[in-house]
Amino acid sequence: MIPWQFRAEMAHQAAVAEKNRQRAQAAAGREQARRQREAERLQRGLERVRRRESAIEARQSRLAADRARYDEECAQRQREVETSNADLDALIRDLERGTPEAVEEYLGIVFGNSVYPAEWPWPPAYTYDADTQELSIQLQFPVPSDLPTVRAYKYVRTEDQITTATQTQKEQKDRYAALVNNMTLRTLHEVWEADRGHKVTSISLVGSVAHIAPATGKDTITALVAVAVDRATFEDIDLRRVAPVETLRHLGAVVSKNPHALTPIKLAPGIQAH
């Protein structure tokens, strides 16, 4: 028989071995879990790197596309600038030579820069005769009924409202006559003020208003002013100190006796300064 002491020793050793095995197994399990976590962490890091690289590639692709589009837009703008400059250079050359088309194009720019209310009939129609250097202008005025008739606004405190005072018929009549006179002189002045090359030596201008004839109900055009003047005569006038109605009389203009009532003038055929 095996002595009990020996059996006890064997049992103890077996217990120790089992405990060591369990410890080793637990340690191996922990190590495996740690390695698994580390692998997962590395995998997540790798995925982040891949996503970052993918985002960088996408950003670089968009940047390249935006850059190509920007470069094309810059090139297009540059081509437009070069074309515009070339057209401007050609206009300047033709204007110096007095080419009718160039003079008319330049005058179109002049009239286009003249500021009037958007609803007014502007710019005027015009033609240029290179042989006589005369500019013919067909000026149009707004219809009298299109102009506001309010003279003043007044706040009534007791009623908490704003009331209006209407212009008298005389005020409306005088104002429209002043519009015709001033707009006529302004147009003549703007042409010669801009014509630094002295391509226009005279201007014949007819100012009219397009309206509905009350007698027939048809569209009609009524002439209210006509004037023909040469450059030297006009430039001898100091516009800062004149009365427009007297200036037009001085220039021999034919002016309606009552522009507000659309009283027409008689036009002589072929009104010209020459």
- Residue 107, pLDDT score: 95
Per-block mean pLDDT, blocks of 10 residues, the chain (274 long): 66 79 83 85 87 89 90 91 86 85 93 93 94 96 93 87 90 96 97 94 97 92 96 96 96 96 83 50
Q: What's residue 229's pLDDT?
A: 96
Q: Please give the Cα distance from 188 to 68 (Å, whole number).
A: 51
Number of other residues whose CB lies within 10 A of the CB of residue 18: 10
Per-residue pLDDT, 18: 80
Provide the whole-model pTM.
0.72
Q: Please give the pLDDT value at position 1.
A: 54
pLDDT at 5: 67
88: left (phi over 0), alpha (psi -120 to 50) or beta: alpha
Picking from 182, 204, 181, 200, the residue whose alpha carbon sits closest to that of residue 192 is 200
Q: Are 251 and 233 in contact (CB under 8 A)?
A: yes
DSSP per-residue string spanning the chain: ---HHHHHHHHHHHHHHHHHHHHHHHHHHHHHHHHHHHHHHHHHHHHHHHHHHHHHHHHHHHHHHHHHHHHHHHHHHHHHHHHHHHHHHHHHHHHHHT-HHHHHHHHHHHHHTS---TTS--SPEEEEETTTTEEEEEEEPPPGGGS--EEEEEEETTTTEEEEEEPPHHHHHHHHHHHHHHHHHHHHHHHHHH-TT----EEEEEEEEEEE-TTT--EEEEEEEEEEEEHHHHHTS-GGG--HHHHHHHTT-EE-S-GGGTPPPPPPTT----
